[in-house]
Structure 1
């Protein structure tokens, strides 16, 4: 089927049109004209049951197993984390998040492919560190990771910290050929997590002014579009961060998503942000991007 759908001004591309658009995105990524924006759904390419949670709801469940939260907030990761911080202290929340993400997340074929590209900027919106691990395993020495950090443990106007791939903390403002930006933090190298509501209070107050976003990210997005893969935007927090990170970027923007399961809020966000949906299973999209002849799903190939 070859279809271009318009769902309330949301452009959804299917069939051979989607394949052609994905080819354009692959060429743009290879030419460093597009920024990959990685979401937790990407982890399912390596395993149907990843070693770490791959949704906010799964993190909420893991935290609930350690300290049951009130039923009205039990499925909301940010609220459950806030409940734990208030009742058990920040150190406990930090330790439990480190436990939850302690197991190494297996890099996917897409991580491996991206690690070989001459990308100026990669955005990883999850805590698992698979992209960082893949870059290190590829022998890359020209990468700086900039992580969002909670203000709970800091004094002064600190929004991010920078690290090289060996885990050494670098001076603020450090840059390299490739910047890996993890706006919500990451398990490695220092277990930085923005996860509780309180972590985001000051960030969301300032983010419309772009203050928490590193200057190098603002600079490198200017002449590029964003390519969202493995992402959902079914929570206001996720939509807000994506909107502000892509602010003042040139475009075009694409997202590999299942159009059938999009919520009304996701459709509104995608349409308002001029993000074109490539309606294709993630495994098929990953295979086409990396040049494989078979789709990737749960660590298995299928024809």
Structure 2
């Protein structure tokens, strides 16, 4: 255990300038060698054009609030606003609202298309838009599956996820074992059928079991074991976001990196990066992505 004070330990999790450029070159080599799992967040969607969907939980909360006004104390919290709608209006109403909010197709960025061509063992999409799955289909990939987290509302089975083939049809879970690429969307996605984990109630059982890893698919546990993680376009300013990232990368081999603007980091985010051994590469997201691609 290091004897460095906490402030100094946190500073060492961030590299910038020429050091960041050098680390990014190592990240690119590791990515090309299938040694890193890309973990994509919603901020990535805005690096090339104005996205037609929300790119933050707070924006989803605002969109839901516009459809069904929520109390002031919760209206900026996506999970609480969604729970309010589900409780007052019905689960089907919440599902319909989310489908409307994410109805407009999102064009994959150059990074999405670059990753789709690498045939990586695993990729994570932590948002609902489905751009990464679209990039895989656009690339003509027929050797991938998408595993989506699903709500247990209305389910009478012990089920956490569903698996979909390249054509969007549901397939048997064991199909994932033989796929070249596993795309894991832990919070669900608008396509192909509109699976959304978004309300507090969706996460009650998940968070109860996630420490023992029950909600994490076996193939994800297997494929992460020899890889590190690369977080792109992600924020960790909410406990829910930190919990999911921590549990998905649990027992992975590392190293771990995040492309992130250090000036925007909250105290909790810095602490999370340090605790999880994630090195933050402090470069403008667009610049960092271009370096990864080129």
Q: Give the alignment's TM-score, normalised by structure 1.
A: 0.93
Q: Is the 8 A contact 1:30 1:118 kept in 2?
A: no
Q: Is the 8 A contact 1:34 1:226 kept in 2?
A: yes
CA distance in 1, matches of 2:46, 2:166: 24
Is 1:115 the counterpart of 2:116? The answer is: yes
Partner of 1:194: 197
Q: Is the 8 A contact 1:110 1:286 kept in 2?
A: yes
Q: CA deviation at 1:204?
A: 0.1
Is 1:67 the counterpart of 2:61? The answer is: no
What is the DSSP-based 3-state SS (H/G/I as helix, E as strand, rest coil) of the residue aligned with 1:104?
coil
Partner of 1:17: 19
Partner of 2:79: 78
What is the DSSP-based 3-state SS (H/G/I as helix, E as strand, rest coil) of the residue aligned with 1:72?
coil
Please show how residues 29-48 of structure 1 align to structure 2 within 5 Å: 29-47=31-49
Is 1:171 the counterpart of 2:181? The answer is: no
What is the DSSP-based 3-state SS (H/G/I as helix, E as strand, rest coil) of the residue aligned with 2:44?
helix
Q: CA deviation at 1:46?
A: 2.6
CA distance in 1, matches of 2:119, 2:18: 28
CA distance in 2, matches of 1:37, 1:263: 20
What is the DSSP-based 3-state SS (H/G/I as helix, E as strand, rest coil) of the residue aligned with 1:73?
coil
Q: Is the 8 A contact 1:6 1:12 kept in 2?
A: no
Q: Give the alignment's TM-score, normalised by structure 2.
A: 0.96
CA distance in 2, matches of 1:7, 1:76: 31
What is the DSSP-based 3-state SS (H/G/I as helix, E as strand, rest coil) of the residue aligned with 2:216?
coil
CA distance in 1, matches of 2:130, 2:154: 21
What is the DSSP-based 3-state SS (H/G/I as helix, E as strand, rest coil) of the residue aligned with 1:227?
strand
Please show how residues 1-303 of structure 1 align to structure 2 within 5 Å: 6=8, 8=10, 10-47=12-49, 49-175=50-176, 176-291=179-294
Q: CA deviation at 1:173?
A: 2.6
Q: CA deviation at 1:238?
A: 0.2
CA distance in 2, matches of 1:225, 1:135: 22
- Which structure carries more helix by proportion? 2
CA distance in 2, matches of 1:7, 1:197: 34
Q: CA deviation at 1:153?
A: 3.1
Which piece of structure 1 moves more, 5-14 or 201-210?
5-14
Q: CA deviation at 1:7?
A: 5.2
Unaligned runs of 5+ in 2: 1-6
Q: CA deviation at 1:10?
A: 4.6
CA distance in 1, matches of 2:124, 2:95: 23
Alignment length (residue pairs): 286
Q: CA deviation at 1:136?
A: 0.1
What is the DSSP-based 3-state SS (H/G/I as helix, E as strand, rest coil) of the residue aligned with 2:175?
coil
After the TM superposition, which segments of 4 or more aligned residues of structure 1 sit over 2 Å from their partners? 5-10
Question: How large is the RMSD of aligned CA atoms in angstroms?
Answer: 1.0
CA distance in 2, matches of 1:21, 1:78: 36
